[in-house]
Amino acid sequence: MSLHDLTIHELGARLKKREISSVELTEAVFARIAATEERVGSYVTLSHDGALEEARRADARLKAEGDSAPLLGIPIALKDIFITKGIRTTCCSKILDNFVPPYDGTAVAKLKAAGAVIVGKTNMDEFAMGSSTENSAFGLTRNPWNVLRVPGGSSGGSAAAVAADQCIAALGTDTGGSIRQPAACCGVVGLKPTYGRVSRFGVIAFASSLDQVGPMTKDTIDCALLLEAIAGHDPADSTSVPTATQPYSSFLNGDIKGVKVGLPKEYFIAGMQPEVETSVTAAVRKLAELGAELVEVSLPRTEYAVAVYYIIATAEASSNLARYDGMKYGYRAPAKDLIETYLKTRHEGFGPEVKRRIMLGTYALSAGYYDAYYLKAQKVRALIKRDFDRAFESCDVIVTPTTPTTAFKIGEKTDDPLQMYLSDIFTISVNLAGLPGLSLPCGFDNAGMPIGLQIIGKHFDEAAMLKVANAYEQATEWHKKKPKL
């Protein structure tokens, strides 16, 4: 097995014993990228020289200190939504083309402090608006399991890079499913922490009350280790919650006897791809075999989640993206006066999906419509959260499919935005309620595409969620399967 195939914890043990060096590992990852990137298209920017310099520093730390920090010397990729000092950060939009930030965001700074090696920036839907990574201004990312299919989105580049072994792990962001849905499509583990668990400082904003940073990894142990590194209170982020983090990896003992697993009837719906329902049902049976207690729960307002999300998220996007006007940074269209500069810059700089959402959000916030749309959506959001609160009175975690189907073909839904939006029907409620959610592999469909199992936890109880996920993972082999590239 090649170095790039291994996990964080496997490589960490080898680095600690000095069996390999971080430079050797980083070069192996770049060789893998060179061999597969033409077919996958995971990256928009590579940081070859910077990564090797960080690897050399990691090797020096290992030699001088015998340091055994879990991420020390590990090559990690970042979704191109993270502000990175000296590395181009575009959010895959023409309006930020060639923008190079002067500082690191908090999550990036924490990774660097832990000794991680930043390989590069991965492709994504422009401003994180999409479910297929087809909305990028810089081209398609393809699913490593079938290059004619999408990798999911908006963190599709990160998911594809992890699945294709083009990095050891990656960070993504999740506003309505943008970590979990591509993780399911690409057969990797993706975790959206509780809202406020990980700092959003230095993350380009889409919808500020929904966005959250999280890990995308090859297994649940790596997911726990990466979450440990990035979680924690940050005074620079007013939405960061001053709640103690936990050593998440220490909870992964495989024992889930007596854990109550809630099954919401609203998530097993007509129209779901049959293989998805079969695989998730089999996964639930496996959890029961491992000692979990199955409990039926109800989340009755689930049917309103997509509509609520696309009012709140677009309204916040309309406000957040007002800053891109060609004045301070990014793209500026040539024009004869200030107003024309604004108009032409935003017309030429934003892609079609971003414009659609800005217009929807501006309409929802406009005079005469605010109460009818935005205010009502916030009230229904509170009801959705209340549904989860009641459900968690009788269970410890909730288990659902991550997506209603496996990855669809490239171009299949680009002309039908509503069908595209419904790709996130099982993930959106979790963001609206601010809960943690995780997707991990639980099978394959008849076409050989991965299927994801979603585990939802109580607020700030990522530990229970990871514990259940790891127990299932230990009892199955799905996470060990690799695409043939």
Domain for residue 405, yes or no? no
Q: How far is the C-alpha of 408 from the C-alpha of 181, rounded, in Å? A: 12
Domain that holds residue 38: 3-258
Active site residue 79: yes
Contact 365, 374 (CB under 8 A): yes
**Catalytic position from the list 21, 79, 155, 318:** 79
- Residue range 306-332, pLDDT digits in tens: 999 999 999 999 999 999 998 888 899
Domain for residue 212, yes or no? yes
Is 419's pLDDT higher than 90?
Answer: no
Select, from the ranges 256-265, 365-374, 416-425, the one with the highest average predicted confidence (pLDDT). Answer: 256-265
**Catalytic position from the list 158, 178, 240, 318:** 178
Domain for residue 30, yes or no? yes
Domain for residue 139, yes or no? yes
- Written as six digits, the tokens of 205 are 């904003």
- Residue 1 banded pLDDT, cuts 50, 70, 90: confident
Block residue for tokens 């590395």? 87
Residue 234 pLDDT: 98
CATH number of the domain to which 113 belongs: 3.90.1300.10
Active site residue 480: no
Q: How far is the C-alpha of 107 from the C-alpha of 90, rounded, in Å? A: 17
Residues pairing with 264 in the sheet: 297
- Residue 473 banded pLDDT, cuts 50, 70, 90: very high
Active site residue 298: no
Domain for residue 69, yes or no? yes
- In this structure, of 17-31, 56-70, 106-120, 139-153, the range with the lowest mean pLDDT score is 56-70
Domain for residue 308, yes or no? no
* % of residues, the chain, pLDDT over 90: 93
3 state SS for the chain: CCHHHCCHHHHHHHHHCCCCCHHHHHHHHHHHHHHHHHHHCCEEEECHHHHHHHHHHHHHHHHHHCCCCCCCCCEEEEECCECCCCCCCCCCCHHHCCCCCCCCCHHHHHHHHCCCEEEEEECCCHHHCCCCCCCCCCCCCCECCECCECCCCCCHHHHHHHHCCCCCEEEEECCCCCCHHHHHHHCCEEEECCCCCECCCCECCCCCCCCCEEEEECCHHHHHHHHHHHECCCCCCCCCCCCCCCCHHHHCCCCCCCCEEEEEHHHCCCCCCHHHHHHHHHHHHHHHHCCCEEEEECCHHHHHHHHHHHHHHHHHHHHHHHHCCCCCCCCCCCCCCHHHHHHHHHHHHCCHHHHHHHHHHHHHHCCCCCHHHHHHHHHHHHHHHHHHHHHCCCCCEEEEECCCCCCCECCCCCCCHHHHHHHHCCCHHHHHHCCCEEEEEEEECCCCCEEEEEEEECCCCHHHHHHHHHHHHHCCCHHHCCCCC
Domain for residue 366, yes or no? no
- Residue range 64-77, pLDDT digits in tens: 877 778 999 999 99
Domain for residue 445, yes or no? no
- Residue 416 banded pLDDT, cuts 50, 70, 90: confident
Rg of the chain (C-alpha set): 21
Block residue for tokens 């393809």? 142
- Residue 143 banded pLDDT, cuts 50, 70, 90: very high
Q: How many domains does the chain have?
A: 1
What mean pLDDT value characterizes the chain?
96
**Catalytic position from the list 22, 47, 93, 154:** 154
